[in-house]
Amino acid sequence: MGFFTKLKEIWRKWFFGDLEDEDEEWDENSLEDEKPAGERKAGYFNDADTRTVYVLETLQQMSEAAGKVEQYQSEYDAVTALLNDMEQIENLVGDVHDSITTQAQRIEKLEKERRRAFEDGLILDDYRMDLLKRYEDGIPAAIEKMKEAEKYRRLVKMDLRKMEAEKASCRYQMREAMITLSNSRGVAVICAVAVICAIILLAILQYAFGMDVSWGYMMTGGAGAIALTVMFVKYQDAAKEIKKLQKARDKITVLHNTVKIRYVNNTNLLSYMYTKYDVNSSKDLEADWADYIDVMNARIKDEKLRQDLEYYYDKLTETLRKCGIQDPEIWTRQVRALVDPREMVEVRHALIGRRGKLREHLEYNKQITGRAQDKIKDLVMAYPQYADEIEGIVSRYDAG
């Protein structure tokens, strides 16, 4: 039994060749492997349209990644500056430290009095109030940005699913073409064996029995030639179809990677915004923001407390500015950290977490930029005869 099983496996591998193709799983945080220009089949980039599409898609990947690097770098620098301010505040001693603590305690006390005065109208807890107050200037724009990003993610995900379907269709068509290729090869072998057997039989009839089999030779040769010709044509058609499908699959892969980069960047942006505002969707942030507006409108009634708070805000800001703090205003929105060292530790941990996420996003997009540059360099090295054309495309893209 083992011998026949092994023989069957050998036949299957020969008959189907490299037909089997493992199903691919989509990992949104990684790109699909693309063959370098130098490793593609000879003449692949001899087509001007293929070169142009390849270079433009690569430049678009590079441009989008570079834009994200600039965006994340700005936010990263702001978070780093805030961490530096925090370290400088913690190193303050003596009267300056006591003055800052006293002012912070006074601000904290006034804020608590305002919250008590409007306790019946409070909708959000202290954590949400403090968080929303810390970022209140940017929340309306953040809500719109979050909505647009969520809508864009849905559209990009639909595109990815369509391209996955196209890839699956390509794989299916290639599998069918491979089967046709294998069947043509197998039928050709069977026909050849049948012709040989028929000739041998006719030869036996001719020489052993003296029969006239000339018509048999002619019919056997004609039938064999026709069958082999038909199989050869089918084999050639299947081979051409496979090459065509491979080229289409490569184009889909390039486009798929471009769309996947957009999806990953969009997902990273939403993840960062959700973490920053501690929400699960733009609807949650919009609802919290509406509640926050109601609360703040109610607090406007207490003009005296507001004036006192403004006075101490300015005083604390001026004190911090004299101490060399780069962004003293932000500390008026999180004075608890100036009073309670444990809160300062929590704020630091949150900032370090945000900076870690930003660093990951920066590294990812820098990797994309470097990879795109390497792809263009590899194309120029593999096809030096098109170097001027490629440089022209890059120049026009940069100028645009």
Query: 205 and 211 in contact (C-beta within 8 Å)?
Result: yes
What is the structure's pLDDT at 15? 45
- 3-state SS, residue 358: helix
Four-point Cα dihedral 317, 318, 320, 322, nearest 10: 160
Amino acid in position 371: R
CATH architecture of 133-290: Orthogonal Bundle (1.10)
User: Distance (Å, rounded) from C-alpha 385 to C-alpha 298?
Assistant: 72
Mean pLDDT of 133-144: 86
Mean local confidence (pLDDT), 317-340: 83
pLDDT, tens only, 86-129: 888 888 778 888 888 888 888 888 888 877 766 656 677 778 88
The better pLDDT of the pair 198, 329 is held by: 329
Q: CA 286, CA 293: separation in Å to the nearest integer?
A: 10
21 pLDDT band, cuts 50/70/90, is: very low
Structure confidence at residue 19 (pLDDT): 42
* Per-chain mean pLDDT for the chain: 76
| Most confident region among 132-146, 152-166, 381-395 by mean pLDDT | 132-146
The 10s digit of each residue's pLDDT in 341-378 is 888 888 888 888 988 898 888 888 888 888 888 888 87
pLDDT number for residue 188? 67
Residue type, 64: E
As a whole number of angstroms, the distance between CA 38 and CA 49 comes to 18
Res 40: pLDDT = 62
pTM, two decimals, is: 0.46
CB under 8 A, 24+ apart: contacts of 83-91: 83/348, 83/351, 83/352, 83/355, 84/326, 85/325, 85/326, 85/327, 85/328, 85/331, 86/337, 86/344, 86/347, 86/348, 86/351, 88/323, 88/324, 88/325, 89/320, 89/323, 89/325, 89/331, 89/338, 90/344
In which band, very low, low, confident or very high, does the pLDDT at 238 lie, cut at 50, 70 and 90? low
Q: pLDDT value at position 39?
A: 59
Alpha-carbon distances of 55 from 49, 61, 107, 129, 262, rounded to whole Å: 10, 10, 58, 49, 18
Task: Determine the average pLDDT of the residues in 236-262.
Answer: 72
DSSP state of 211: -
CB atoms within 10 A of CB 237: 14
Q: What are the residue boundaries of the structural domains of the chain, listed by start?
A: 34-118+301-400, 133-290
35 burial (CB, 10 Å; 0-12 / 13-18 / 19+) is exposed
Q: Do 30 and 261 contact (CB within 8 A), yes or no?
A: no
pLDDT of 7 higher than 50:
no
Residue of 383 and 281 predicted with greater confidence:
281
